[in-house]
Amino acid sequence: MPSDPREGRIVVVGASLAGLRAAEALREEGFTGPLTVVGEEHRPPYDRPPLSKQVLLGTAAPDTTGLPMRRDPDAQWRLGVRATGLDPLAKRVLLADGESLPYDRLLIATGTRARPWPHPQQAALDGVFTLRTSEDAARLAERLAAGPRRVLVIGAGFTGSEIASACRERGIEVTVAERGPGPLVGALGGTLAKLAAAMQRAHGVDLRCAVTVSALRGRDGRFVGADFSDGSRVEADLCVVALGAIRNIEWLADAGLAAGPHGIACDAGCRAVDMYGIVTDDIFVAGDIARFPHPLFDYQMLSLEHWGNAVAQAEVAAHNMVSPGPLRRPHLTVPVFWSSQFGFNIKSVGVPAFSDQVVIAQGSLAERRLVAVYGYRGRITAAVTVNMAKWLEHYQGLIESAATFPPGPGAADGQPLVTEFPIPSDVPDARGLSHGPTVALTGHLPVRRLTVVRSAG
Amino acid sequence: MADDTLLQRITDYTNRPDPYPLYAQLREAGVVRQTDGSYLVGTYHDIVALLHDPRVSSDQRNRTALYRGADPGDARQLPTFIRRDDPDHHRLRSMAMRPFGPPHSPGRIDAMREEITRITEDLIASIQDREQVDIVDDFAYPLPVTVICRLLGVPREDEPVFREWSATVIDSIDIGPGEDLRKREAAGEQARTQMGRYLVDLAERRRGGPGDDMLSAFVNDPGPAGEFSRAELAATSALLLVAGHETTVNLITNGILTLLRHPDQLDLLRRDPGLMPSAVEELLRYEPPVHMLPRTPLAPLDIAGTTVPRGVPLVLVLASGSRDPQRFRDPDRFDPTRPDNQHLGFGSGIHSCYGAPLARIEAQIALGALAPRLSTATLVEDPPPYRNSAILRGPRHLRVEF
């Protein structure tokens, strides 16, 4: 390892949002050594949020979502090649083409991929899609433009709901199947899930909750419909499997890192932790793949699939990779997330799943404009706005300062908070959802006193 | 205590040319109650927090009786959306936004660039042979008036008609501590009523036969929120007409004055016109048109260690916040290349300036067109005579010799 951390050789594995922003930040922070960015996809880094929105609506072409570069990271780009292994002793990243890249410091930003339909033969039917890459979006947008009679969306998380919204906006009939009690319930809890269900139904979505899809049916290799656990059936031309994401950790199987289904554990400074809980000095983690402790949520390890987290964490990781120990910074960003669907703008700050109660602090369910504030044991831990995003900054301040829950009365929009009693936030166990939550508390739900351990299978 | 009279000194006309040392005192003093009962806030982070605080009202009807100004028994007009809270504010603002900006009219203002450029060039042509020009009367005032008339669908020839009303309205929203405001407020009410009646009349004549203007859209293309009531249409369109030019005139004039005071920066801009957008942002920070916003707490607030009771006037001194050294490095320096310039020139939060995109384009085009001609120009008097208002601050005249 060179004595000046701004020198040496850095490899970034993962060429999406976190990888690109980290590469840019490394140069901004004065890194002068050779920098290599490895990416499995052939395309240069691109933005994913438009894929489930504008691209499916046909208002943006899938190849136009390239991420703007804030500066040229002056990197060697190894695109279209997968990392297959890591040798932490020899300090080398192994690539699928047989080459291996030496590093002094490594940043892992391999993110997630779409969780496929578990039955491979059914998943291979023509007309069954997942949505994660721009290629996925291009193929799905093309099939939506061809005017299918009905689309089945499996999973009513954010991605599934946005796909359903795009279908309805294009006038396509859509059935949404959700194993949990309502759409978005894993991210927003039971109360807002009721609002989400109402808005889906108001827009003509055939929403089926508390059911699972037991089989996808095909004829001549084409998807034609699905059987549900309640015995009902649906006929459809397309099926989008929106079951959440799988973290791309398989290539690290022999690397000795604390890598699991929730990602790679790291400390607050983005340094990866090995399987014995010992922090590494030369391996850093950022973006969807990271699982990090957050002081605002009792140091629970969080796994986030949020755009803003990828950017912020990449910048902290890059800073720490090229800074001597005492100048390193913690990644303490409050999670922020947004979604647009059915004409609603939904924004979330904090971790709604880290809550026991919720109160509508501004607006109302009836107006379809509101601020829901979440609390855990008398302290504000999250807020979600529906079409009221401009107020979010205030609530972020309350979360950061651990303000008391419920917030005081007096909001200027005429809803006297005192009449709206806090109600249980109804955060479900993620295992009851058909999709993964976009924020996972990877220890335990705070409202639970003990964790039930079940053996797999 | 000197702080007690700070608002008096800020509003004192003799301090109009340079209120910034008083703002520095205000930031130093923290949140201080003035002798008239109002509280002044001048630090960046406090102002931003208050602009995002749902317990802070824009509706002055929420003030306790002592501070409510005119007799509440008067048959008063509805406040415009800038002086209302959600959900009414949201409903009225979205209805007003429908023909103006996204999501329904995303390209409307950008599409006016060419027309604004042409209006600007016409104005410059009319003054280019003259040795002495009043930047205000000959350029900075007629430009936004012509633009807002075109946008709203108000005949440009009617300008003498609404000019007086507009001046009276601006006069009525000024603050002067200790002064009996009722007379000015009554005159302002009357001017707003007359202007509203005039604009509703214009709009009604286009019902069924719309032109490509906002008044036409208001009466012919109601959105999902429904149509404005007659009173709402009067209040909203009068607001747009007044705010559509009384602020931009100051932005352009303050801009010319600042550039003439900083010949090195003017030179930089002449050589690199691509800097103009960030130069306009810097002007909005350094010499903004809007200096203060009135607010009212709906609950007792803790601001920087001071408890401000509910119902009292709270004055957010935006122009002070934009010069706060806790937020901006070297804040008293005019630097068109300044990075991270999140100024308070357009406010923040749900009442963020509705007309900001238009004001930005007008100022960029106006200053961009005038900058190359300013190299040989000199100010006839510095400081120039200012308009009366401490809230909407800018020179009344800016005489320049070419």
pLDDT of residue A83 exceeding 90: yes
The pLDDT tens digits for A150-208 are 999 999 999 999 999 999 999 999 999 999 999 999 899 888 899 999 999 999 999 99
pLDDT band at residue B67 under the 50/70/90 scheme: confident
* Chain B residues touching residue A410 (CB < 8 angstroms): 54-55, 298-299, 310
- Min Cα distance A343 → chain B (Å) is 11
Q: What percent of chain B has pLDDT over 70?
A: 95
* Average pLDDT value for residue range A276-285: 96
* Average pLDDT value for residue range A311-315: 97
Of A456 and A43, the structure prediction assigns the larger pLDDT to A43
- Residue A67 in contact with partner chain B when CB distance is under 8 A: no
Q: What percent of chain A has pLDDT over 90?
A: 80
Of A431 and B399, the structure prediction assigns the larger pLDDT to B399
The whole-number pLDDT of residue A308 equals: 94
Q: Do A394 and B52 touch (CB under 8 A)?
A: yes
The whole-number pLDDT of residue A157 equals: 95
Write out the residue range of the structural domain in which residue B380 sits. Answer: 3-401
The whole-number pLDDT of residue A131 equals: 97
Chain B residue with minimal CA distance to A343? B103
* Chain A residues touching residue B56 (CB < 8 angstroms): 412
Task: Of A220-224, A383-387, A452-456, B372-376, give the lowest mean pLDDT range.
Answer: A452-456
The pLDDT tens digits for A87-109 are 999 999 999 999 999 999 999 99
pLDDT of residue B75 exceeding 70: no
Give contacts of B 285-324 with A, CB under 8 A: 298-299, 310
Tokens of A3: 């004595």
The pLDDT tens digits for A23-54 are 999 999 999 999 999 999 999 999 999 999 99
Q: Do A413 and B52 touch (CB under 8 A)?
A: no
Q: Do A390 and B349 touch (CB under 8 A)?
A: yes
Q: Do B350 and A391 touch (CB under 8 A)?
A: yes
Q: Strands across the sheet with A222-228, in order?
A: A213-219, A222-228, A233-235
Chain A residue with minimal CA distance to B61? A412
- Residue B225 in contact with partner chain A when CB distance is under 8 A: no
- Min Cα distance A335 → chain B (Å) is 19
Q: Do A412 and B90 touch (CB under 8 A)?
A: no
- Residue A324 in contact with partner chain B when CB distance is under 8 A: no
* Chain B residues touching residue A397 (CB < 8 angstroms): 49, 52
Query: Where does residue B103 rank: exposed (0-12), middle (13-18), buried (19+ CB within 10 A)?
Result: exposed
Q: Which of B49, B85, B299 sits opposite A413 (nearest CB)?
A: B85
- Residue B97 in contact with partner chain A when CB distance is under 8 A: no
* Average pLDDT value for residue range A51-71: 91
Q: Which of B52-81 are b and which e, b meaning 16 or more Cβ less than 10 Å from the residue's Cβ?
A: bbbbbbbbbebbeeeeeebeeeeeebbbbb
- Residue B91 in contact with partner chain A when CB distance is under 8 A: no
* Average pLDDT value for residue range B321-344: 97
pLDDT band at residue B103 under the 50/70/90 scheme: confident
- Min Cα distance B84 → chain A (Å) is 9
Tokens of A83: 């990392």
* Chain A residues touching residue B55 (CB < 8 angstroms): 408, 410-412
Of B76 and B106, the structure prediction assigns the larger pLDDT to B106
pLDDT band at residue A437 under the 50/70/90 scheme: confident
DSSP classification of residue B140: I
Tokens of A209: 């909750």
Chain B residue with minimal CA distance to A371? B54
Q: Do A394 and B299 touch (CB under 8 A)?
A: no
pLDDT of residue B70 exceeding 60: no
Give contacts of A 1-60 with B, CB under 8 A: none
pLDDT band at residue A425 under the 50/70/90 scheme: confident
- Min Cα distance A390 → chain B (Å) is 6
Q: Do A391 and B52 touch (CB under 8 A)?
A: yes
pLDDT band at residue A432 under the 50/70/90 scheme: confident
The whole-number pLDDT of residue A70 equals: 86
The whole-number pLDDT of residue A26 equals: 97
β pairing state of A279-285 and A105-108: parallel
- Min Cα distance A395 → chain B (Å) is 9
Task: Of A81-90, B99-108, B274-283, B337-346, give the lowest mean pLDDT range.
Answer: B99-108
- Min Cα distance B363 → chain A (Å) is 26
* Chain A residues touching residue B299 (CB < 8 angstroms): 408-410
Q: Which of A29-33, A406-410, B100-104 has the highest mean pLDDT?
A: A29-33
pLDDT of residue A273 exceeding 50: yes
The whole-number pLDDT of residue B116 equals: 97
Q: Do A393 and B52 touch (CB under 8 A)?
A: yes
- Min Cα distance A2 → chain B (Å) is 33
Chain A residue with minimal CA distance to B348? A390
pLDDT of residue B373 exceeding 50: yes
- Residue A312 in contact with partner chain B when CB distance is under 8 A: no
* Average pLDDT value for residue range A286-309: 94
The whole-number pLDDT of residue B52 equals: 95
Mean pLDDT (chain B, rounded): 92
Domains of chain A in sequence order: 10-113+246-327 (3.50.50.60), 116-243 (3.50.50.60), 354-426 (no CATH)
Distance CA A361, CA A410 (A): 9
Task: Of A73-82, B151-160, B169-178, give the lowest mean pLDDT range.
Answer: B169-178
pLDDT of residue B226 exceeding 60: yes
The pLDDT tens digits for B23-60 are 999 999 989 888 888 999 999 999 999 999 999 999 99
- Min Cα distance A272 → chain B (Å) is 32
Q: Which of A220-229, B5-14, B61-70 has the highest mean pLDDT?
A: A220-229
In Å, the largest CA–CA distance within chain B is: 62
Specify which residues A419 forms β-bridges with: none
Q: Do A394 and B49 touch (CB under 8 A)?
A: yes
Number of domains in chain B: 1
pLDDT of residue A455 exceeding 60: no
Q: Do B54 and A393 touch (CB under 8 A)?
A: no
pLDDT of residue B3 exceeding 60: no
* Chain B residues touching residue A412 (CB < 8 angstroms): 54-59, 62, 85-86, 298
Chain A residue with minimal CA distance to B295? A412
Give contacts of A 346-375 with B, CB under 8 A: 361-363, 367, 369, 371
Q: Which of A22-31, A437-446, B368-377 has the highest mean pLDDT?
A: A22-31
The whole-number pLDDT of residue A424 equals: 83
Q: How far, in whole angstroms, is CA A171 from its chain's centroid?
A: 28
* Average pLDDT value for residue range B77-84: 87
Cβ-based contacts under 8 A for chains A and B: 56
Mutation site, A394, A404, A420, interface B, largest B CB count within 10 A: A394
Q: Which of B48, B49, B86 sits opposite A412 (nearest CB)?
A: B86
The whole-number pLDDT of residue A1 equals: 58
The pLDDT tens digits for A324-375 are 989 999 999 999 999 999 999 999 999 999 999 999 899 888 888 999 999 9
pLDDT of residue B191 exceeding 60: yes
Residue A69, phi-psi category: left (phi > 0), alpha (psi -120 to 50), beta (remainder): beta
Compute chain B's Rg from CA coordinates. 21
pLDDT of residue A454 exceeding 80: no
Q: Which of A390, A397, A410 sits opposite B350 (nearest CB)?
A: A390
Q: Do B86 and A413 touch (CB under 8 A)?
A: yes
Q: Do B49 and A361 touch (CB under 8 A)?
A: no
pLDDT of residue A457 exceeding 50: no
Whole-prediction pTM:
0.88
From residue B294, alpha-carbon distances to A346, A361, B60, B301, B312 in Å are: 30, 24, 8, 15, 10
Q: Do A408 and B56 touch (CB under 8 A)?
A: no
- Residue B90 in contact with partner chain A when CB distance is under 8 A: yes
The whole-number pLDDT of residue B177 equals: 64
- Residue B223 in contact with partner chain A when CB distance is under 8 A: no
Chain A residue with minimal CA distance to B299? A410
Query: Where does residue A260 rank: exposed (0-12), middle (13-18), buried (19+ CB within 10 A)?
Result: middle
ipTM here: 0.85
What's the CATH number where B325 sits?
A: 1.10.630.10
- Min Cα distance B52 → chain A (Å) is 5
* Chain A residues touching residue B57 (CB < 8 angstroms): 412
